[in-house]
Amino acid sequence: MIDAHPLEKALGMELYSTDFPGIGGRLKLRFEDFVVEEISANQTTLGIQDWPEPTETPQIAKGESNRFVTFTVQKMGLSTMDAANIIAAAIRISRNNVTYAGLKDKRAITTQSMSVPSTAVESLAVLELSRIAIRDIHYTRHPVQIGELWGNRFSILIKEIASDCDSALEVASQLRDLTLLNYFGVQRFGITRPNTHLIGKALLKRDFEDAIRIMLTATSEYESEELTNIRLQISENLTPTEKMIESFPEDMGYEKGVMRELMKHPGDFERAINKIPPRVLTLQVHAFQSYMFNRILSRRANLGLSLDSPEVGDFLIKLDETHSGRDSWLYATESTLEERQHQVESKRYGLALPIPGYSTRLPPVKQSEIVKQIMKDEDIRLTDFRNPREKALDSPGGLHLASIKLSDLDVSCSDKGFLARFSLRKGSYATVVLREIMKNHPINRV
Protein backbone atom coordinates (compact mmCIF):
# COMPACT_ATOMS: atom_id res chain seq x y z
CA MET A 1 0.00 0.00 0.00
CA ILE A 2 1.16 3.55 -0.76
CA ASP A 3 0.53 6.83 1.04
CA ALA A 4 -2.53 8.87 0.10
CA HIS A 5 -2.85 12.53 -0.87
CA PRO A 6 -2.07 14.87 2.09
CA LEU A 7 -5.65 16.19 2.20
CA GLU A 8 -6.99 12.64 2.46
CA LYS A 9 -4.40 11.72 5.08
CA ALA A 10 -5.66 14.61 7.21
CA LEU A 11 -9.09 12.94 7.09
CA GLY A 12 -7.79 9.57 8.25
CA MET A 13 -7.56 8.10 4.74
CA GLU A 14 -3.85 7.44 5.05
CA LEU A 15 -3.40 4.77 2.38
CA TYR A 16 -4.37 3.65 -1.06
CA SER A 17 -5.40 0.01 -1.33
CA THR A 18 -3.43 -0.37 -4.56
CA ASP A 19 0.12 0.31 -5.69
CA PHE A 20 -0.43 0.92 -9.41
CA PRO A 21 -0.32 4.48 -10.84
CA GLY A 22 -3.55 6.40 -11.28
CA ILE A 23 -5.09 7.54 -14.55
CA GLY A 24 -5.85 11.09 -13.35
CA GLY A 25 -8.87 12.84 -14.78
CA ARG A 26 -11.85 14.77 -13.47
CA LEU A 27 -15.37 13.88 -12.33
CA LYS A 28 -18.73 15.62 -12.48
CA LEU A 29 -17.99 18.14 -15.22
CA ARG A 30 -21.68 17.65 -16.07
CA PHE A 31 -24.48 16.21 -13.95
CA GLU A 32 -24.91 13.48 -16.58
CA ASP A 33 -21.34 12.28 -15.91
CA PHE A 34 -22.26 10.93 -12.46
CA VAL A 35 -25.35 8.72 -12.32
CA VAL A 36 -26.53 7.03 -9.13
CA GLU A 37 -29.42 4.56 -9.16
CA GLU A 38 -30.66 3.35 -5.78
CA ILE A 39 -30.92 -0.41 -5.27
CA SER A 40 -33.79 -1.18 -2.91
CA ALA A 41 -33.64 -3.67 -0.05
CA ASN A 42 -35.09 -6.37 -2.32
CA GLN A 43 -32.29 -5.56 -4.81
CA THR A 44 -34.51 -3.83 -7.37
CA THR A 45 -32.67 -1.01 -9.15
CA LEU A 46 -34.56 2.27 -9.48
CA GLY A 47 -33.31 3.06 -12.98
CA ILE A 48 -32.87 6.45 -14.59
CA GLN A 49 -35.70 7.28 -17.02
CA ASP A 50 -36.30 10.02 -19.57
CA TRP A 51 -37.44 13.24 -17.95
CA PRO A 52 -41.23 13.57 -18.24
CA GLU A 53 -42.93 16.19 -20.33
CA PRO A 54 -44.59 19.02 -18.35
CA THR A 55 -48.03 17.63 -19.21
CA GLU A 56 -47.28 14.13 -17.92
CA THR A 57 -48.79 13.24 -14.55
CA PRO A 58 -47.51 10.23 -12.58
CA GLN A 59 -50.10 7.54 -11.98
CA ILE A 60 -50.96 6.33 -8.50
CA ALA A 61 -50.75 2.54 -8.36
CA LYS A 62 -54.07 0.88 -7.70
CA GLY A 63 -54.34 -0.74 -4.33
CA GLU A 64 -55.70 -0.37 -0.84
CA SER A 65 -55.16 3.06 0.69
CA ASN A 66 -52.73 3.16 3.56
CA ARG A 67 -51.02 5.59 5.91
CA PHE A 68 -48.13 6.46 3.58
CA VAL A 69 -47.25 6.72 -0.07
CA THR A 70 -43.82 5.76 -1.33
CA PHE A 71 -42.45 6.98 -4.65
CA THR A 72 -39.31 7.22 -6.77
CA VAL A 73 -37.59 10.60 -7.01
CA GLN A 74 -35.27 11.32 -9.93
CA LYS A 75 -33.31 14.50 -9.33
CA MET A 76 -30.49 16.47 -10.96
CA GLY A 77 -28.11 18.94 -9.34
CA LEU A 78 -29.84 18.75 -5.95
CA SER A 79 -28.91 17.05 -2.69
CA THR A 80 -31.36 14.63 -1.10
CA MET A 81 -32.10 17.22 1.59
CA ASP A 82 -32.68 19.88 -1.09
CA ALA A 83 -35.17 17.61 -2.86
CA ALA A 84 -36.94 16.69 0.38
CA ASN A 85 -37.25 20.36 1.35
CA ILE A 86 -38.64 21.30 -2.07
CA ILE A 87 -41.18 18.47 -2.06
CA ALA A 88 -42.27 19.25 1.50
CA ALA A 89 -42.79 22.93 0.70
CA ALA A 90 -44.63 22.15 -2.54
CA ILE A 91 -47.16 19.81 -0.91
CA ARG A 92 -47.29 21.87 2.29
CA ILE A 93 -46.18 19.31 4.85
CA SER A 94 -43.44 19.32 7.47
CA ARG A 95 -39.97 18.53 6.15
CA ASN A 96 -39.77 15.83 8.84
CA ASN A 97 -42.61 13.96 7.08
CA VAL A 98 -40.50 13.38 3.95
CA THR A 99 -38.36 10.30 4.55
CA TYR A 100 -35.76 8.46 2.50
CA ALA A 101 -33.35 5.54 2.79
CA GLY A 102 -30.06 7.31 2.11
CA LEU A 103 -28.35 10.49 0.93
CA LYS A 104 -27.45 10.86 -2.74
CA ASP A 105 -24.88 13.06 -4.48
CA LYS A 106 -25.81 16.63 -5.38
CA ARG A 107 -23.70 17.07 -8.50
CA ALA A 108 -25.26 14.12 -10.27
CA ILE A 109 -28.43 12.59 -11.68
CA THR A 110 -29.82 10.21 -9.09
CA THR A 111 -32.84 8.10 -8.22
CA GLN A 112 -34.09 7.13 -4.80
CA SER A 113 -37.18 6.12 -2.88
CA MET A 114 -39.03 8.59 -0.64
CA SER A 115 -42.23 8.53 1.44
CA VAL A 116 -44.80 11.05 2.66
CA PRO A 117 -48.10 10.68 4.56
CA SER A 118 -50.87 9.46 2.24
CA THR A 119 -52.92 12.57 2.95
CA ALA A 120 -50.58 14.37 0.54
CA VAL A 121 -50.97 11.91 -2.33
CA GLU A 122 -53.17 14.08 -4.57
CA SER A 123 -50.84 17.08 -4.24
CA LEU A 124 -47.85 14.85 -4.91
CA ALA A 125 -49.31 13.47 -8.13
CA VAL A 126 -49.71 16.89 -9.77
CA LEU A 127 -46.35 18.41 -8.78
CA GLU A 128 -44.30 20.13 -11.47
CA LEU A 129 -40.83 20.74 -10.09
CA SER A 130 -37.60 21.88 -11.66
CA ARG A 131 -34.93 19.14 -11.79
CA ILE A 132 -37.17 16.71 -9.86
CA ALA A 133 -39.35 13.99 -11.39
CA ILE A 134 -41.70 11.83 -9.32
CA ARG A 135 -43.03 8.44 -10.42
CA ASP A 136 -44.06 4.98 -9.13
CA ILE A 137 -46.42 6.38 -6.48
CA HIS A 138 -47.94 3.61 -4.37
CA TYR A 139 -49.46 3.16 -0.92
CA THR A 140 -47.41 1.54 1.85
CA ARG A 141 -48.07 0.68 5.48
CA HIS A 142 -44.74 2.13 6.60
CA PRO A 143 -42.56 5.01 5.37
CA VAL A 144 -39.11 4.54 3.87
CA GLN A 145 -36.53 4.77 6.65
CA ILE A 146 -32.79 5.45 6.73
CA GLY A 147 -30.84 2.31 5.85
CA GLU A 148 -33.68 0.55 4.02
CA LEU A 149 -31.76 -0.06 0.81
CA TRP A 150 -29.24 -2.56 -0.53
CA GLY A 151 -26.97 0.07 -2.01
CA ASN A 152 -26.42 1.99 -5.24
CA ARG A 153 -25.52 1.37 -8.86
CA PHE A 154 -23.04 3.90 -10.31
CA SER A 155 -22.29 4.92 -13.89
CA ILE A 156 -19.42 7.41 -13.77
CA LEU A 157 -17.62 9.15 -16.62
CA ILE A 158 -14.04 10.26 -15.94
CA LYS A 159 -12.86 12.98 -18.33
CA GLU A 160 -9.43 14.41 -19.15
CA ILE A 161 -7.56 11.26 -18.07
CA ALA A 162 -3.78 11.42 -18.08
CA SER A 163 -3.17 7.99 -19.64
CA ASP A 164 -4.19 6.27 -22.86
CA CYS A 165 -7.32 4.13 -22.98
CA ASP A 166 -5.59 0.72 -22.94
CA SER A 167 -3.48 1.63 -19.91
CA ALA A 168 -6.53 3.03 -18.10
CA LEU A 169 -8.51 -0.15 -18.74
CA GLU A 170 -5.64 -2.28 -17.49
CA VAL A 171 -5.35 -0.24 -14.28
CA ALA A 172 -9.06 -0.21 -13.49
CA SER A 173 -9.62 -3.87 -14.34
CA GLN A 174 -7.24 -4.89 -11.55
CA LEU A 175 -9.73 -3.65 -8.97
CA ARG A 176 -12.09 -6.57 -9.67
CA ASP A 177 -9.92 -8.99 -7.74
CA LEU A 178 -8.78 -6.74 -4.91
CA THR A 179 -9.93 -5.87 -1.40
CA LEU A 180 -10.33 -2.09 -1.06
CA LEU A 181 -10.27 -0.05 2.13
CA ASN A 182 -13.85 0.99 2.88
CA TYR A 183 -13.09 4.56 3.94
CA PHE A 184 -15.67 7.27 4.44
CA GLY A 185 -15.02 9.53 1.45
CA VAL A 186 -13.85 13.12 1.35
CA GLN A 187 -17.36 14.46 0.67
CA ARG A 188 -18.30 13.33 4.18
CA PHE A 189 -16.07 16.12 5.51
CA GLY A 190 -16.26 18.82 2.84
CA ILE A 191 -13.70 19.16 0.08
CA THR A 192 -13.26 22.93 -0.19
CA ARG A 193 -13.33 23.35 3.61
CA PRO A 194 -12.78 19.86 5.07
CA ASN A 195 -13.73 20.74 8.63
CA THR A 196 -17.12 19.14 9.29
CA HIS A 197 -15.49 16.51 11.51
CA LEU A 198 -13.66 19.21 13.49
CA ILE A 199 -16.96 20.97 14.17
CA GLY A 200 -18.41 17.62 15.21
CA LYS A 201 -15.56 17.00 17.64
CA ALA A 202 -16.00 20.43 19.22
CA LEU A 203 -19.73 19.76 19.61
CA LEU A 204 -19.01 16.45 21.34
CA LYS A 205 -16.64 18.24 23.73
CA ARG A 206 -19.40 20.83 24.40
CA ASP A 207 -17.00 23.52 23.19
CA PHE A 208 -19.59 25.54 21.27
CA GLU A 209 -17.30 28.53 20.87
CA ASP A 210 -14.69 26.41 19.11
CA ALA A 211 -17.39 24.80 16.92
CA ILE A 212 -18.55 28.24 15.79
CA ARG A 213 -14.99 29.49 15.32
CA ILE A 214 -14.21 26.57 12.99
CA MET A 215 -17.52 26.97 11.15
CA LEU A 216 -17.22 30.71 10.54
CA THR A 217 -13.50 31.44 10.35
CA ALA A 218 -11.73 28.47 8.74
CA THR A 219 -10.50 29.73 5.37
CA SER A 220 -10.09 27.94 2.06
CA GLU A 221 -8.09 28.52 -1.09
CA TYR A 222 -11.27 27.75 -3.04
CA GLU A 223 -13.23 30.69 -1.61
CA SER A 224 -13.08 34.28 -2.82
CA GLU A 225 -10.59 36.75 -1.39
CA GLU A 226 -13.50 38.84 -0.09
CA LEU A 227 -15.00 35.94 1.86
CA THR A 228 -11.57 34.95 3.20
CA ASN A 229 -11.02 38.48 4.52
CA ILE A 230 -14.45 38.51 6.18
CA ARG A 231 -13.70 35.19 7.88
CA LEU A 232 -10.46 36.67 9.20
CA GLN A 233 -12.35 39.70 10.55
CA ILE A 234 -14.90 37.49 12.28
CA SER A 235 -12.09 35.47 13.87
CA GLU A 236 -10.99 38.49 15.91
CA ASN A 237 -13.94 38.39 18.32
CA LEU A 238 -16.67 36.20 16.76
CA THR A 239 -18.94 39.23 16.56
CA PRO A 240 -20.29 39.49 13.00
CA THR A 241 -22.04 42.51 11.50
CA GLU A 242 -24.99 42.58 9.12
CA LYS A 243 -22.63 43.56 6.28
CA MET A 244 -20.49 40.51 6.99
CA ILE A 245 -23.55 38.26 6.99
CA GLU A 246 -24.73 39.64 3.66
CA SER A 247 -21.33 38.82 2.15
CA PHE A 248 -21.77 35.10 2.85
CA PRO A 249 -23.24 33.13 -0.10
CA GLU A 250 -26.94 32.25 0.05
CA ASP A 251 -26.18 28.53 0.25
CA MET A 252 -24.51 29.11 3.64
CA GLY A 253 -27.84 29.57 5.37
CA TYR A 254 -26.82 27.74 8.55
CA GLU A 255 -23.80 29.98 8.99
CA LYS A 256 -25.93 33.06 8.41
CA GLY A 257 -28.40 31.88 11.06
CA VAL A 258 -25.61 31.37 13.58
CA MET A 259 -24.18 34.83 12.89
CA ARG A 260 -27.55 36.56 13.23
CA GLU A 261 -28.06 34.87 16.59
CA LEU A 262 -24.61 36.03 17.71
CA MET A 263 -25.53 39.58 16.72
CA LYS A 264 -28.58 39.39 19.00
CA HIS A 265 -26.81 37.53 21.81
CA PRO A 266 -23.02 38.11 21.63
CA GLY A 267 -21.00 35.39 23.31
CA ASP A 268 -23.94 32.97 23.72
CA PHE A 269 -22.39 30.29 21.55
CA GLU A 270 -24.61 27.41 22.64
CA ARG A 271 -27.70 29.43 21.79
CA ALA A 272 -26.25 30.24 18.38
CA ILE A 273 -25.40 26.60 17.68
CA ASN A 274 -29.02 25.67 18.35
CA LYS A 275 -30.05 27.74 15.32
CA ILE A 276 -28.61 24.92 13.21
CA PRO A 277 -31.17 22.19 12.39
CA PRO A 278 -30.68 19.09 14.58
CA ARG A 279 -30.16 16.82 11.55
CA VAL A 280 -27.21 19.00 10.45
CA LEU A 281 -25.65 18.88 13.93
CA THR A 282 -26.01 15.10 13.86
CA LEU A 283 -24.25 14.94 10.47
CA GLN A 284 -21.34 16.90 11.95
CA VAL A 285 -21.02 14.45 14.85
CA HIS A 286 -21.22 11.58 12.38
CA ALA A 287 -18.45 13.20 10.33
CA PHE A 288 -16.13 13.07 13.35
CA GLN A 289 -17.08 9.42 13.93
CA SER A 290 -16.33 8.74 10.26
CA TYR A 291 -12.92 10.37 10.65
CA MET A 292 -12.25 8.14 13.67
CA PHE A 293 -13.26 5.07 11.67
CA ASN A 294 -10.92 6.07 8.84
CA ARG A 295 -8.04 6.34 11.30
CA ILE A 296 -8.88 2.96 12.85
CA LEU A 297 -9.01 1.33 9.40
CA SER A 298 -5.71 2.93 8.37
CA ARG A 299 -4.00 1.77 11.55
CA ARG A 300 -5.29 -1.78 11.06
CA ALA A 301 -3.98 -1.83 7.49
CA ASN A 302 -0.61 -0.45 8.57
CA LEU A 303 -0.34 -3.21 11.18
CA GLY A 304 -0.90 -5.84 8.49
CA LEU A 305 -4.15 -7.16 9.97
CA SER A 306 -6.63 -8.66 7.51
CA LEU A 307 -9.27 -6.39 5.99
CA ASP A 308 -11.68 -9.10 4.89
CA SER A 309 -11.08 -12.16 7.08
CA PRO A 310 -11.67 -12.11 10.84
CA GLU A 311 -9.00 -12.67 13.44
CA VAL A 312 -9.50 -13.35 17.13
CA GLY A 313 -11.04 -10.22 18.65
CA ASP A 314 -12.86 -9.08 15.50
CA PHE A 315 -16.55 -8.31 14.99
CA LEU A 316 -18.80 -9.46 12.16
CA ILE A 317 -22.07 -7.96 10.99
CA LYS A 318 -24.70 -9.57 8.79
CA LEU A 319 -24.55 -8.17 5.30
CA ASP A 320 -27.37 -6.06 3.89
CA GLU A 321 -28.93 -5.12 7.21
CA THR A 322 -29.06 -1.80 9.06
CA HIS A 323 -26.60 -1.67 11.96
CA SER A 324 -26.14 0.57 14.96
CA GLY A 325 -24.17 0.31 18.19
CA ARG A 326 -27.00 -1.67 19.75
CA ASP A 327 -27.58 -4.16 16.93
CA SER A 328 -26.61 -7.80 17.03
CA TRP A 329 -23.13 -8.77 15.94
CA LEU A 330 -20.84 -11.78 16.06
CA TYR A 331 -17.50 -11.89 17.83
CA ALA A 332 -14.50 -14.03 16.90
CA THR A 333 -12.88 -15.96 19.74
CA GLU A 334 -10.27 -18.73 19.66
CA SER A 335 -13.02 -21.35 19.73
CA THR A 336 -15.27 -19.68 17.12
CA LEU A 337 -12.64 -18.32 14.73
CA GLU A 338 -12.98 -21.06 12.11
CA GLU A 339 -16.78 -20.73 12.12
CA ARG A 340 -16.53 -16.94 11.82
CA GLN A 341 -14.14 -17.20 8.89
CA HIS A 342 -16.55 -19.57 7.16
CA GLN A 343 -19.43 -17.15 7.73
CA VAL A 344 -17.46 -14.41 5.97
CA GLU A 345 -16.41 -16.69 3.12
CA SER A 346 -20.07 -17.60 2.56
CA LYS A 347 -20.77 -13.86 2.08
CA ARG A 348 -23.46 -13.84 4.73
CA TYR A 349 -21.35 -11.74 7.11
CA GLY A 350 -18.60 -9.15 6.75
CA LEU A 351 -15.67 -8.07 8.89
CA ALA A 352 -16.55 -4.79 10.61
CA LEU A 353 -14.66 -2.21 12.64
CA PRO A 354 -16.03 0.15 15.30
CA ILE A 355 -17.45 3.58 14.61
CA PRO A 356 -16.80 4.92 18.14
CA GLY A 357 -19.81 5.98 20.20
CA TYR A 358 -21.16 5.55 23.70
CA SER A 359 -22.24 1.94 23.00
CA THR A 360 -18.88 0.84 21.55
CA ARG A 361 -17.50 -2.32 23.13
CA LEU A 362 -13.76 -2.62 23.66
CA PRO A 363 -12.87 -6.18 24.70
CA PRO A 364 -9.28 -6.77 25.91
CA VAL A 365 -7.76 -7.54 22.49
CA LYS A 366 -5.20 -5.85 20.22
CA GLN A 367 -7.94 -4.40 17.98
CA SER A 368 -9.33 -2.47 20.96
CA GLU A 369 -5.89 -1.04 21.64
CA ILE A 370 -6.00 0.59 18.20
CA VAL A 371 -9.26 2.32 19.09
CA LYS A 372 -8.05 3.35 22.54
CA GLN A 373 -4.82 4.84 21.20
CA ILE A 374 -6.62 6.87 18.52
CA MET A 375 -9.14 8.10 21.08
CA LYS A 376 -6.23 9.15 23.29
CA ASP A 377 -4.61 10.94 20.35
CA GLU A 378 -7.86 12.82 19.72
CA ASP A 379 -8.49 13.53 23.41
CA ILE A 380 -11.94 11.98 23.18
CA ARG A 381 -13.79 9.50 25.41
CA LEU A 382 -16.68 7.19 24.63
CA THR A 383 -18.75 9.07 27.21
CA ASP A 384 -18.34 12.26 25.15
CA PHE A 385 -20.76 10.73 22.63
CA ARG A 386 -23.50 10.55 25.30
CA ASN A 387 -25.68 13.65 25.41
CA PRO A 388 -29.26 12.86 26.51
CA ARG A 389 -30.02 16.59 26.87
CA GLU A 390 -29.17 17.28 23.20
CA LYS A 391 -30.32 14.28 21.19
CA ALA A 392 -28.75 15.61 17.98
CA LEU A 393 -25.34 15.23 19.64
CA ASP A 394 -26.06 11.83 21.19
CA SER A 395 -24.56 8.96 19.20
CA PRO A 396 -24.18 5.27 20.10
CA GLY A 397 -21.70 4.53 17.32
CA GLY A 398 -21.81 1.21 15.54
CA LEU A 399 -19.94 -1.18 13.28
CA HIS A 400 -18.96 -0.57 9.66
CA LEU A 401 -17.62 -2.92 6.99
CA ALA A 402 -13.85 -2.75 6.65
CA SER A 403 -13.57 -3.48 2.95
CA ILE A 404 -15.14 -3.18 -0.50
CA LYS A 405 -15.27 -5.82 -3.24
CA LEU A 406 -16.21 -4.85 -6.81
CA SER A 407 -17.78 -8.01 -8.17
CA ASP A 408 -19.56 -6.29 -11.09
CA LEU A 409 -17.04 -3.65 -12.17
CA ASP A 410 -17.34 -2.83 -15.86
CA VAL A 411 -15.02 -0.31 -17.55
CA SER A 412 -14.84 1.07 -21.08
CA CYS A 413 -13.49 3.97 -23.14
CA SER A 414 -15.11 6.23 -25.70
CA ASP A 415 -14.58 9.66 -27.19
CA LYS A 416 -16.52 11.02 -24.19
CA GLY A 417 -14.06 9.66 -21.63
CA PHE A 418 -13.45 6.67 -19.35
CA LEU A 419 -16.66 5.03 -18.08
CA ALA A 420 -16.81 2.94 -14.90
CA ARG A 421 -19.94 1.05 -13.82
CA PHE A 422 -20.24 -0.79 -10.52
CA SER A 423 -22.53 -1.43 -7.55
CA LEU A 424 -21.77 -0.78 -3.90
CA ARG A 425 -23.55 -1.76 -0.72
CA LYS A 426 -24.89 1.10 1.39
CA GLY A 427 -22.22 2.71 3.50
CA SER A 428 -19.58 2.60 0.74
CA TYR A 429 -18.52 5.58 -1.37
CA ALA A 430 -18.06 5.54 -5.13
CA THR A 431 -15.38 8.22 -4.82
CA VAL A 432 -13.36 5.87 -2.60
CA VAL A 433 -13.29 3.42 -5.50
CA LEU A 434 -12.47 6.21 -7.97
CA ARG A 435 -9.58 7.52 -5.84
CA GLU A 436 -7.89 4.15 -6.44
CA ILE A 437 -8.34 4.52 -10.19
CA MET A 438 -7.48 8.23 -10.45
CA LYS A 439 -4.94 8.86 -7.64
CA ASN A 440 -4.93 12.64 -7.99
CA HIS A 441 -6.03 15.65 -5.95
CA PRO A 442 -9.44 15.01 -4.33
CA ILE A 443 -10.79 18.28 -5.74
CA ASN A 444 -10.99 16.46 -9.08
CA ARG A 445 -13.50 13.98 -7.66
CA VAL A 446 -16.27 16.24 -6.32
Q: How far lies 190's CA from each of 195, 207, 382, in Å?
A: 7, 21, 25
Give tens-digit pLDDT for 101-160: 999 999 999 999 999 999 999 999 999 999 999 999 999 999 999 989 999 999 999 999
Q: For the beta carbon of residue 178, count every other beta carbon within 10 angstroms.
A: 13
Give tens-digit pLDDT for 264-321: 999 999 999 999 999 899 999 999 999 999 999 999 999 999 999 999 999 999 987 6
How many angstroms separate the CA atoms of 135 and 76, rounded? Answer: 15
| E strands, 177-329, in order | 180-181, 315-318
The structural domains of the chain, ordered by start, are 6-31+151-178+406-445 (3.30.1360), 42-147 (3.30.70.3160), 196-278 (1.10.1510.30), 280-404 (3.30.2350.20)
Which pTM value belongs to this model? 0.92
Give tens-digit pLDDT for 357-413: 999 999 999 999 999 999 999 999 999 999 999 999 999 999 999 999 998 999 999
The DSSP element (H or E) to which 404 belongs, if any, is strand 403-404
Give tens-digit pLDDT for 305-317: 999 999 999 999 9
How many angstroms separate the CA atoms of 315 and 305, rounded? Answer: 13
